[in-house]
A and B are shown apart, each in its own frame.
Chain A
Amino acid sequence: MRHLLLAVTFALAAAARAADAPPAPRAVAPGTAAPDFTLTGDDGAKHSLSDAKGKYVVLEWFNPGCPFVKRHYGTKNMQSLQKTYTGKGVVWYSIASSAEGKQGRLTPAAAAKTRGKLGMSARILIDEKQDVARLYQARTTPHMFVIDPKGNVIYMGAIDDLPSTDWSDIKSAHNYVSAALDAALAGQPVAKTVSTPYGCSVKY
């Protein structure tokens, strides 16, 4: 009997001393829960993803100095998307994740100015330490995530199917974000749930 005891001790030793390492963060994927975060906005207030439970949420990685971002703001494409969908009750966060000293680094005050100048309906959030960018493995500006009212990712990837910095071709692009939101808001399944994001690198 004591032999069995020894063997069982092996098992218990493992189980009893559990939890000294947090499980590795799971990669964000369509159909899985979008990890929660709290960031300071251009309004100086704290904003949490979990506050928006029950609503659709768009996360847009944002760097106003990036030519790909300029393409969407210079043509008012992004502003009009933001206006349309925030008008339908969607929460839109433009996340500025640039590291200290890098292009696109914003303070809340500078973000408020940028937001006014560009005419954005989205709230700019400051990801000061790039923690949220790492959490979502954000690679590019723009890099888009659409989250449903239950908090699950329903789309992640590029803003559209035309990787370019050219302002003239934006009208001919197929916009994945509006496609996902239109389908979801109409109660339809989202056809394309993941694509390869394009743009400038997030300035880690």
Chain B
Amino acid sequence: MRYHGRVKASLALALALGAAPARAGMVDASLVSSRAAVRPGEVFDAGLRLKMRGGWHVYWKNPGDAGLAPRLAWSLPPGWSAEPFAWPAPRRIETPPLTDFGYDGEVLLPLRLTAPSDARAGESARLTATADWLECRDVCVPGRARVSLLARVAADSRPDEAGTAAIDAARAQVPLPDSEAAEGALWDGARVRLRLRGRVPLAEFFPEEPGVFENARSPVSVGPAETELLLSSAAGVGSPARAAGVLLRPGRAPVEIDVPVRAGGAAARFLLLAFAGGLLLNLMPCVFPVLAVKALGLLARGGQSPAVARRHAAAYALGVILSCELLAAALLVARSAGAALGWGFPLQSPWLVAALAALFAAAGLNLLGVFEFGTSIVGTGAGLSAREGLAGSFFSGVFAMIAAAPCTAPFMGAALGWALTRPAPEALAIFGSLGAGAAAPYALLTSWPALLKRLPRPGKWMVRIKQVFSVPMFATAAWLVWVLWRLASPAASPDALWRSWSPEAVASARAEGRTVLVDFTAAWCLTCQVNERTALATAEVRAALARPDAAAFRADWTARDARIAGELSRYGRDGVPLYVVHPRGGPAVLLPELLTERLVLDALGAGPEQKTEGGKTP
């Protein structure tokens, strides 16, 4: 290694005549004009063209983790002036763990020049500049070249066809401000959630300023109608004040966005999400039978006074909320000890699964009237004749939450995942809100006197209904036995389409340029099973996954697995299901907890919209 002389002295220092390219290192630099002749006083388009050899790249205005943006220093004749570059949208240049923003192949950085108003027709001016850039492949080399442009002044402006076309193409890639594209940004204590209009799973954000956000492509969380980019702030800085940068969406022109980041309000939002998740939990197959049986209990107590009914409602709600809090406390304690657990974790223990199977079987038998519990833990069937005590209501709340463990309702994943990153009081509040949501429908029903009056009279028909509802109880028990079996002998996936997950396998499939879908699942996760049968097993989805440029992985969290838990928490989740799509060259796209075939196909880029948009990004 020698330091004789200056670095730049070792580089080609070429003086360009006309617009001939000057070559330095692996880059040809030249100035391009949109005009063959300019009018006095005319403002016209020009640009710096950088043509790179294979594998080399130059940088965007924010170079990313490393690098340096190109610069142009003019030495203009008197009266001429030049504006700074407009920057076409860059692309991400990824050399894990680093991410840079830049251009490869060829780029034209447009700018505007102004001719002096007192220029005379017939004269010409040589507009000269020194271009500086850093070009990198596996190593970096600074490049410098003198570039120039001969501008002819005429009474009438004349376009340069080739130059105009090249500059227009570059201008089309320069993002324009768009106040509509982003709906808002919220700091959730760990990252900025940038909310975008519409479902745009392949959206990509390039921060305007260095050192504000992490440069690696951020995960995208898509819902039925909205999209969130999950932007991490740069190491060592807290909540960014604004989310400003370039937004790329396939098939659309790049846009510039600049939205203030709301720092507060995350807790309120997640409390609301948790409550909504809790409400929806009532409709999930795990909880619904329990709830239906409870409704029968309600009928049985039809004649009781509103005050008594309200006490029962409160006892039930207390049961639900307390068991949520107990679960949260357990999770927090375990997590602080370093264990990677999430919603549904009790089902990762064979003993608890066995106990639950027995419990559900007992509940089923109880409904059939084989034996009675009295004021039992289940509290479901017994005491229909208005003898059920408050303890029964309380424990049926507990039972409803135990039954809920295998199910994940929409919104829950995000809310609980966030809760577990927060200090204990906030986390407990989120779980409490989930419980409140889960308890709300039944509690409201119970304490609604007008409704109570209109309920049908209890009678023999209730016995029949009880018998009907014993079926889901037995089904659950049978299914838990299957879970137990799967816990004991984790089966290799019998399906050739689904490979077994490992971070390395996903990385290598992505490196091969494949679109990758990862299904984080568990045998005990009923929501997962439903999604796998309804959305992931359709002929069209299977066909999309079977394409040579796609790959499907299944990460089975039936038994505990620290690697899977770690991957879940990377995406801000605490449990399964989680569906992550890595579109070819794209970010991680998180799909909602309840899948539809359309959603999956869209994210895989197999939807009708995206089929025509391949290779649109610059």
Contacts and interface: CB of A to CB of B under 8 A. Distances in A.
Nearest to B560: A20
Nearest to B133: A165
B97 A204 contact: yes
Interface in A79-113: 102-103
A74 B340 CA distance: 50
A195 B236 CA distance: 9
A9 B211 CA distance: 47
Contacts of A186: none
B19 interface: no
A194 B237 contact: yes
Interface in A3-53: 3, 6-15, 17-24, 27-30
B271 interface: no
B533 interface: no
B140 A67 contact: yes
B615 to A, nearest CB: 26
A204 B95 contact: yes
A68 B565 CA distance: 40
Interface stretch (A120-128, A133-141, A174-182): A133-141
Contact of B338 (A10, A23, A198): A23
Nearest to B233: A27
A196 B211 contact: yes
Q: Which of B98, B236, B349 has most A Cβ within 10 Å? A: B236
Interface in B109-143: 132, 134, 136, 138-142
Given A14-B345, A165-B7, A203-B138, A140 B352 contact: no
A10 B324 CA distance: 11
A163 to B, nearest CB: 6
Contacts of B565: 21
A27 B235 contact: yes
Interface stretch (B63-71, B262-270, B508-516): B63-71
Given A140-B65, A165-B7, A167-B7, A194 B236 contact: yes
A107 to B, nearest CB: 15
Interface stretch (B247-255, B329-337, B591-599): B329-337
A141 B600 CA distance: 42
Contact of B333 (A15, A70, A166): A15
Given A66-B140, A195-B211, A196-B211, A11 B100 contact: no
Given A13-B352, A67-B7, A2 B237 contact: no
| Contact size range, B | 35 or more
A196 to B, nearest CB: 3
B412 to A, nearest CB: 18
Contacts of A203: 138
Given A165-B134, A200-B139, A156 B236 contact: yes
Contacts of A9: 352, 355
A88 to B, nearest CB: 25
Nearest to B211: A196
A11 B560 contact: no
B236 A30 contact: yes
23 contacts: A6-B377, A9-B352, A10-B352, A11-B330, A14-B339, A15-B330, A15-B333, A18-B333, A19-B337, A19-B339, A20-B339, A23-B338, A27-B235, A134-B97, A137-B97, A137-B235, A139-B66, A167-B7, A195-B211, A198-B68, A201-B98, A201-B140, A202-B98
Q: Which 3 A-B pairs have the closest CB atoms?
A: A196-B211, A18-B337, A21-B562
